[in-house]
C-alpha cells in the first residue's frame, strides 16, 4: 500500500479504505460476478441484530407500565404504522407493508450506524487475521456505503411495487395503465398507438429513475459521511507527524466528536427517508392513474 518503511500517503490511505473484501478481482466498473463479501456479512449481521431486538421487544412486552426499551419499541412501531396508514390505504396490504417498513428502517439504521465505529478498528483487526485466512486485507464495514447494497434494497422495493401493481389492479388493468398514463389515449388508432408507446416509455423511465435515485440517495449520503471520517482520521495522523501536533490533535478530537454527533442525525434521517420513499412508491402502486 505504501513504500517499504514508510506510512501510506493520504491518497493511499483513503484508497485502501475504499477497497472491498471481494470474492474475486473486479475487472470492470460493472461486474455482477464479483461479490463484496464484507457488505454481505455486515448487512446480514445488522439484519440479525435488528430482528433480534424487535423480537426481544415483542417478547418482553407487558400490559402494565412499559420500561424504557419497550416504550422505545412501541414509539417506533407506532411511528411506522402511522406513516403506513397515511400512504397505504389498503388494510390488507398494510399488514405486510408496515412490518416490512419497520424492518427496513431498523436494518438500514444499524447498517448506517457502523459508520460510528472507529474507522481503523475492524480493518486493523482484519489486517492481522486476513493472511491466515487466505483473504486480502481490505475491509469496509458500512454496507450502505456500497452502491450494490443500496441498489439491491431499492430493486427489492421495485419488485414489491410490481407485485402490488398486478395484485391490486390485475395484470390487464396494470397493462392498460402502462399505455394510457400519464398522457391518456385517443379514439384515433394511430394516435392511440403513438400515445401508448410514449406512455409506456414514460412509465419505464419513471420506474428506473425512482429505483436508481432511491438507492443512490442512501449510498451518496453514507459514502460522503464515510469520506469525512477518513479525512478526520487523517487529521489525527498528521498530528502525530507534525511539530504542531497538539493543535491538530485537538482539532481532530473536536471535529471527530462534532461530526459523530451530527452523523447520528444523518444515519437516522437516511433510514427514515428510505423507508418513507418505499412506503410512497408502494402507495403509488395501489393508486390508479
| Tens-digit pLDDT profile for residues 277-289 | 999 999 999 987 6
Q: Is the pLDDT of residue 11 over 50?
A: yes
- Looking at per-residue confidence, does 250 or 153 come out higher? 153
Q: Give the pLDDT band (50/70/90) at residue 247.
A: low
Q: Which residue has the cell 394516435?
A: 191
Of these residues, 39, 154, 199, 221, which one is catalytic?
221
Q: Give the pLDDT band (50/70/90) at residue 66.
A: confident
How many Å apart are CA 102 and CA 80, to the nearest integer?
6
Nearest 5 degrees, angle CA 104-CA 152-CA 229?
Answer: 75
Of these residues, 23, 186, 213, 242, which one is catalytic?
213
Of these residues, 90, 136, 156, 217, which one is catalytic?
217
Q: Is the pLDDT of residue 7 over 70?
A: no
How many Å apart are CA 22 and CA 36, to the nearest integer?
4
**Three-class SS state of 184:** coil
Q: Give the pLDDT band (50/70/90) at residue 5.
A: very low
What are the contacts of 181-188 at 24+ separation with CB within 8 A?
Answer: 181/289, 182/289
Mean pLDDT along residues 188-193? 94
What's the sign of the alpha-carbon dihedral 136, 137, 138, 142? positive
60 has catalytic annotation: no
Mean pLDDT along residues 115-125? 92
**Three-class SS state of 28:** coil
Distances from the Cα of 28 to the Cα of 9, 24, 117, 140, 188, angstroms: 26, 12, 31, 20, 48
pLDDT at 237 (0 to 100): 64
How many Å apart are CA 254 and CA 172, to the nearest integer?
60
Mean pLDDT of the chain: 90
pLDDT at 136 (0 to 100): 83
213 has catalytic annotation: yes
Mean pLDDT along residues 155-161? 97
Mean pLDDT along residues 146-157? 96
Nearest 5 degrees, angle CA 22-CA 156-CA 197?
Answer: 115
Q: Is the pLDDT of residue 40 over 80?
A: yes
How many Å apart are CA 81 and CA 104, to the nearest integer?
13
Amino acid at each position: 500500500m505504501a513504500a517499504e518503511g514508510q506510512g501510506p500517503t493520504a491518497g493511499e490511505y483513503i484508497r485502501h479504505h475504499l477497497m472491498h473484501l471481494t470474492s474475486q478481482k473486479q475487472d470492470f466498473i460493472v461486474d455482477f460476478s464479483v461479490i463484496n463479501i464484507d457488505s454481505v456479512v455486515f448487512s446480514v449481521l445488522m439484519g440479525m441484530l435488528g430482528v433480534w431486538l424487535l423480537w426481544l421487544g415483542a417478547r418482553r412486552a407487558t400490559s402494565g407500565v412499559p420500561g424504557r426499551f419497550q416504550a422505545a419499541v412501541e414509539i417506533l412501531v407506532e411511528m411506522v404504522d402511522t406513516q403506513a396508514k397515511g400512504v397505504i390505504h389498503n388494510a390488507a396490504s398494510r399488514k405486510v407493508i408496515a412490518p416490512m417498513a419497520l424492518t427496513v428502517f431498523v436494518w438500514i439504521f444499524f447498517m448506517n450506524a457502523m459508520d460510528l465505529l472507529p474507522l481503523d478498528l475492524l480493518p486493523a483487526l482484519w489486517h492481522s487475521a486476513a493472511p491466515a485466512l487466505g483473504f486480502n486485507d481490505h475491509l469496509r464495514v458500512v454496507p450502505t456505503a456500497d452502491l450494490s447494497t443500496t441498489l439491491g434494497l431499492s430493486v427489492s422495493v421495485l419488485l414489491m411495487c410490481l407485485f402490488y401493481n398486478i395484485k391490486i389492479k390485475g395484470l390487464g388493468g396494470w397493462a392498460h395503465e402502462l399505455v394510457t398514463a400519464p398522457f391518456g389515449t385517443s379514439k384515433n388508432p394511430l394516435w392511440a398507438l403513438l400515445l401508448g408507446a410514449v406512455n409506456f416509455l414514460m412509465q419505464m423511465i419513471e420506474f428506473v429513475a425512482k429505483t436508481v435515485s432511491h438507492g443512490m440517495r442512501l449510498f451518496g449520503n453514507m459514502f460522503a459521511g464515510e469520506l469525512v471520517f477518513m479525512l478526520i482520521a487523517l487529521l489525527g495522523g498528521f498530528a502525530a507527524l507534525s511539530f504542531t501536533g497538539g493543535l491538530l490533535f485537538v482539532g481532530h478530537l473536536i471535529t471527530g466528536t462534532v461530526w459523530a454527533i451530527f452523523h447520528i442525525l444523518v444515519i437516522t434521517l437516511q433510514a427514515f427517508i428510505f423507508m418513507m420513499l418505499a412506503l410512497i412508491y408502494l402507495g403509488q402502486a395501489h393508486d390508479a392513474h
